[in-house]
Amino acid sequence: MSAVTIRHLDKTFNAGKANEVHALSGIDLDVASGEFVSLIGPSGCGKSTLLRLVAHLLEPTNGDVTVNGKSAAQARLDQDYGMAFQQAGLFEWRTVRKNIELPLELKGWDKTRRRERANEMLELVKLPEFGDHHPWQLSGGMQQRIAIARALAAHPQLLLMDEPFGALDEMTREYMQGELLRICAETKTTVLFVTHSIPEAVYLSQRVVVMSPRPGRITKIVDVGLTGPRSEDTRNAESFFRAITAVREGLRGMHAAHVAMGMDDR
Amino acid sequence: MFVAALVGVAVIWELYKFVGPTDGGTVLGVRILPRTADFAMPHVWEMFQRFGRPEVRGRDNTVLAAVAAGAWYSFRLSVVGFVLGGAVGVGLAVVMARFDVVRRGLLPYLVVSQTVPLIALAPLVVSWGGRLEIGGFTWPRWLSASVLGAFLAFFPVAVGTLRGLAAAPAAAVELMQSYAASWWRTLLTLRFPTAVPYMVPAFRLAASSSVIGVVVAEISTGLKGGIGRLIIEYAREATGDPAKVYTAIFGAAALGLTMAGIVAAADTFVMRHRPKEDIA
Amino acid sequence: MMIARLARRTGPPVAFGVGFLAFWEWAVRFFELKPYFLTAPSVIWSQFTDAFGLVRGAATVSGGNAFVGLVAGTILGIVMSFALSRWRLLNQIVTPLAVALNAIPIFVLVAVLNNMYSITSEIPRRIMVALVVYFIVLVNVARGLTQVSATHVELMRSYAASDVSILLKVRVPNAVPFLFTALKVAAPAAVITAFVSEYFGGSQNGLGSRIASNIANSKNAAAWSYVLGACLLGLLFYSVSVLLENVVRRGGGRQ
């Protein structure tokens, strides 16, 4: 069964007004259970909008979104997914552990159970000794790891991530990518990941969805085709570069088409 | 450093007494220099001495006791005003955060009210004392002073709290939405903690505003028992007993500083886990 | 379209204001509230317009005190702030004093100021206003002179600029917005202080004393009209300071 099914999805902002924006048009996508799928594209292609539609933080204008066999609205109410953003967004007045416990509190779990799960997640992201610290005492990368721990605290089957490593430096970024894959392999979570970085998309995903703007649509889906678990060597493998090239061509091709049609003004 | 400042002020005072004209003087034709005779400007040490001696010749309560009692009375009134004003301010801020139309309608008035001398209403409110009756409850005069303090305190609290409640970052609000949290849950879990750094300076201002409101209420109508009344009384006796009025002024200063100190201590406690940064 | 936007912005406040006044008027009539509790807005307004000359006279006295004190306090505050920015030790001594003074009702000093001058003099009130304004302006302008961007100072030093030059070219322009922030707080504070100072005895021509005496004689409606006058005076002072700020800022300020 697909974890996420998107059919004929349209999203228009400010319909009928002067500042109408046709954010997404005719999106069809299936994400299999346990799959890691990236969304990549230039600014304005609607990838963040698409993510928010899956999260039911926005309502579609047309079409529908199914998560785990339910409507997106129901999935949100049932808290079937966890979300992580570019800013870690931890609450500065709570300790690290209490930050991880936040979704569990809202679900009504009792204190002992919450604490156990929070400690479990701290082990998972390899930061067990920081439970009683406050977020501002941690580095950017560590804060993101806590944000991921929080997103996975309730063991959702789906993880939605909007450029979570965008604010980190390159070395930390590569380290975090490895950690994310390790964690998702352990928890068998489906991941829908928005990024600006081609190597990141290729390294992390089974499939990369290339999107183009005005209006936002899917131009190409690249099957990354890297077998086996990722490692240090993966970044140097030929298959890695081939996949990157495929994605880059997907992005360029769309760019060339736009130029040809006189649409692109970059 | 603070002590140095006080010593500096005392030195300047004495210096002026030493060199200044006894009967006051003029600068460029304006009669601006104050008189330096002892009845107008007592020596600094005389002011402190006065605390120890009896309030009124013949009676045996010292000035210190009288001033302390007056300051304590006013302090209790200020606390009532502060709590009342703070509670109403926070409540109103929550209502304004919840109902946008209320916010748009009331906020301009709240902002303007901080520039208008609402203190002008002091005598009016105090005059309700002893005359207003609501179903068996007669309005006590002291309540007017507290209400005035509350009135002055509530405006900065409402404005500051509202600003803080609105200051939650969009990503955090989205996060709470993704948890399908209700508006009230979001208020308690996210918006209030975010608002705390904004409420701290607002409550500091509210503390001093409450003191000002109470003292003004007291002096505008001579409310018995408070430090304001003492200042007026002692000021009237100043020609015969010049140092006494200063003791009452010190009492009022102590009152203000105590309020400020308590609120500052509470602030430090509330903000103890937060990173050190300034809210402009 | 513009009208719709304007209506949307001003609608709720106007509605609240009108609604409040209407409710007030209705409540006084319906509950037959005694004037010593609340006077109806219509009565206040008629009193105000009748006695306008008197109110204006009282407002001129209070306003005059507030104005003189405001100007004096601002000038002294600015002068002193230069001294504070120059000598750190002075700054460290004066700033905690100013912070502490913020917490106490210093207007009670009028009681002793009155004794230093003749009983009919308005000087004590003006000094009081000046004192209150002085500290507000001092703290803000000193902050403006000292909290300059380190980058700007480094740049000037790389040009081997003198301290005076840095003062004039970097610190003073930086301090101008701070001055206006101070004025917007100090102007209403001046009115309030001038007002409250009148409760301590001395000449009885100002708004504050008029309100108190009218209440004492149970002439509440008259008192309310003086209250209205006081509010208008406060608004006037605040508006002038905002206007001044806009005039100066139009010459290419920041923000």
pLDDT digits (tens, 9 = 90+) for B154-193: 999 999 999 999 999 988 999 999 998 999 999 999 999 9
Residue B273 and residue A103: Cβ atoms within 8 Å?
no
A175 and A72 inside one domain? yes
Could you tell me the two tokens for C142?
A: 């000193």
A14 and A40 inside one domain? yes
A31 and A147 inside one domain? no
What 3-state class would DSSP assign to A6? strand
| Domain termination residue (choose one: A155, A181, A209) | A155
Gap between the terminal Cα atoms of chain B: 25
From the CA atom positions of chain B, what is the Rg in Å? 23
Note the pLDDT of residue A50: 92
The fold of C40-249 is MetI-like fold (1.10.3720)
Burial class (CB in 10 A: 0-12, 13-18, 19+), B41: buried
Residues β-bridged to residue C172: none
pLDDT, greater one: B35 or C243? C243
pLDDT, greater one: C214 or B186? B186
A74 and A162 inside one domain? yes
Tell me the C-alpha distance between C52 and C43, whole Å: 14
Tell me the C-alpha distance between B114 and B105, whole Å: 16
Note the pLDDT of residue A131: 92
Output the CA torsion A70→A72→A78→A83 (10° steps): 130
Is residue A142, in this structure, part of any structural domain at all?
yes
What is the tens place of the pLDDT at every residue in A112-135? 999 999 999 999 899 999 999 999
What is the tens place of the pLDDT at every residue in C219-245? 878 888 888 888 889 889 999 988 988
- Residue reference for tokens 């955090």: B172
Q: Could you tell me the pLDDT band of residue B36, with boundaries at 50, 70 and 90? A: low
A41 and A104 inside one domain? no
What 3-state class would DSSP assign to C87? coil
**ipTM for this prediction:** 0.80
Residue B40 pLDDT > 70: no
Tell me the C-alpha distance between B216 and B1, whole Å: 31
CA distance A74 to chain B (A): 10
Residue C254 pLDDT > 60: no
The answer, yes or no, to whether the previous bond of A215 is cis (omega within 30 of 0) is yes
Distances (CA, A) of C231 to B38, B117, B119, B225: 40, 6, 10, 30
Tell me the C-alpha distance between B54 and B35, whole Å: 27
Tell me the C-alpha distance between A216 and A22, whole Å: 7
Task: Please list every residue in chain B whose beta carbon sits closer than 8 Å to the beta carbon of residue C116.
Answer: 24, 34-35, 40-41
Note the pLDDT of residue A158: 93
A168 and A42 inside one domain? yes
Residue C71 pLDDT > 90: yes
Which of B6, B127, B245 is opposite residue C215, by nearest beta carbon?
B127
Tell me the C-alpha distance between B32 and C148, whole Å: 37
- Give long-range contacts, CB 8 A cutoff, 24+ apart: C212-219: C212/B123, C212/B220, C212/B221, C215/B123, C215/B124, C215/B126, C215/B127, C215/B221, C216/B123, C218/C36
Could you tell me the two tokens for A167?
A: 């604010």
Note the pLDDT of residue A227: 66
Could you tell me the two tokens for B199?
A: 């409420």
Task: Please list every residue in chain B whose beta carbon sits closer than 8 Å to the beta carbon of residue A91.
Answer: 172, 190, 193
A166 and A240 inside one domain? yes
Provide the residue ranges of all domains of chain C, joining segments of one domain with +: 40-249
Q: Find chains touching chain B: ≥3 CB pairs under 8 Å.
A: A, C
Task: Please list every residue in chain B whose beta carbon sits closer than 8 Å to the beta carbon of residue A76.
Answer: 177-178, 180
Please, what are the domains in chain B? 76-270 (1.10.3720.10)
Amino acid residing at C6:
L
Are the C-beta atoms of B110 and B95 separated by less than 8 Å? no
Note the pLDDT of residue B17: 67
Distances (CA, A) of B179 to A103, A121, B182, B226, C225: 7, 18, 9, 53, 55
Pairing of strands A207-212, A158-162: unpaired
Task: Tell me which DSSP letter residue C191 carries.
Answer: H
Residue C108 and residue B221: Cβ atoms within 8 Å?
no
A132 and A40 inside one domain? no
Largest CA distance in chain C: 77
Residues β-bridged to residue B25: B33
Segments of chain A with pLDDT less than 50: 264-266
Residue C16 and residue B106: Cβ atoms within 8 Å?
yes
Are the C-beta atoms of C207 and C80 separated by less than 8 Å? no
| Domain termination residue (choose one: A155, A172, A187) | A155
What is the tens place of the pLDDT at every residue in A61-101? 989 899 988 888 888 888 888 999 888 889 988 999 999 99
Residue A85 and residue B174: Cβ atoms within 8 Å?
yes
pLDDT, greater one: C154 or C133? C133
Are the C-beta atoms of C194 and C69 separated by less than 8 Å? yes
A129-146: string of b/e by CB count within 10 Å (b at 16+)? Answer: ebbeebbeebeebbbbbb
| The total number of structural domains that make up chain A | 2
CATH number at residue A183: 3.40.50.300
- The mean-pLDDT minimum among B7-21, B116-130, B208-222, C16-30 falls in B7-21
Q: Find chains touching chain C: ≥3 CB pairs under 8 Å.
A: B
Amino acid residing at B19:
V
Angle at A107 between CA A105 and CA A111, to 5 degrees: 40
Task: Please list every residue in chain A whose beta carbon sits closer than 8 Å to the beta carbon of residue B174.
Answer: 52, 57, 83, 85
Tell me the C-alpha distance between B214 and B74, whole Å: 7
Is residue A13, in this structure, part of any structural domain at all?
yes
Return mean pLDDT, chain B: 81
Task: Tell me which DSSP letter residue C218 carries.
Answer: T
Average pLDDT over residues B17-24: 63
Is residue A15, in this structure, part of any structural domain at all?
yes
- Helix/strand/coil (H, E, C) string of chain B? CHHHHHHHHHHHHHHHHHHCCCCCEEECCEEEECCCCCCCCCCHHHHHHHHHCECCCCCCCEHHHHHHHHHHHHHHHHHHHHHHHHHHHHHHHHHHHHCHHHHHHHHHHHHHHCCCCHHHHHHHHHCCCCCCEECCEECCHHHHHHHHHHHHHHHHHHHHHHHHHCCCCHHHHHHHHHCCCCHHHHHHHHHHHHHHHHHHHHHHHHHHHHHHHHHHHHHHHCCCCCHHHHHHHHHHCCCCCHHHHHHHHHHHHHHHHHHHHHHHHHHHHHCCCCCCCCCC
Task: Please list every residue in chain C whose beta carbon sits closer than 8 Å to the beta carbon of residue B221.
Answer: 212, 215
Residue B109 and residue C17: Cβ atoms within 8 Å?
yes
What is the tens place of the pLDDT at every residue in C117-134? 777 778 888 999 999 999
Residue C164 pLDDT > 90: no
Task: Tell me which DSSP letter residue C254 carries.
Answer: -
CB–CB contacts below 8 A, B to C: 175
A33 and A134 inside one domain? no
| Domain termination residue (choose one: A111, A139, A155) | A155
Note the pLDDT of residue A215: 84
Burial class (CB in 10 A: 0-12, 13-18, 19+), A252: exposed
Pairing of strands A36-40, A190-195: parallel
Task: Please list every residue in chain A whose beta carbon sits closer than 8 Å to the beta carbon of residue B279.
Answer: none
Note the pLDDT of residue B266: 92
A102 and A23 inside one domain? no
In DSSP notation, C96-156 reads HHHHHHHHS-GGGGHHHHHHHS-TT-SHHHHHHHHHHHHHHHHHHHHHHHH---HHHHHHH
Tell me the C-alpha distance between B110 and C173, whole Å: 31
Range of the domain at A247: 2-80+158-254
Question: Which of B178, B194, B270, B277 to probe the A interface (max A CBs under 10 A)?
Answer: B178
Q: Could you tell me the pLDDT band of residue C252, with boundaries at 50, 70 and 90? A: very low
Are the C-beta atoms of A219 and A253 separated by less than 8 Å? yes
Tell me the C-alpha distance between A120 and A126, whole Å: 10
Tell me the C-alpha distance between B67 and B74, whole Å: 11
Tell me the C-alpha distance between A167 and A176, whole Å: 12
In DSSP notation, C167-190 reads IIIIIHHHHHHHHHHHHHHHHHHH
Q: Could you tell me the pLDDT band of residue B195, with boundaries at 50, 70 and 90? A: very high
Contacts of B82 (CB under 8 A, 6+ apart): B149, B150, B153, B206, B207, B210, B259
Burial class (CB in 10 A: 0-12, 13-18, 19+), B273: exposed
Could you tell me the two tokens for A102?
A: 């936040």
Tell me the C-alpha distance between C99 and C139, whole Å: 9
Return mean pLDDT, chain A: 87
Note the pLDDT of residue B44: 65
- pTM as predicted: 0.80
Q: Could you tell me the pLDDT band of residue B52, with boundaries at 50, 70 and 90? A: low
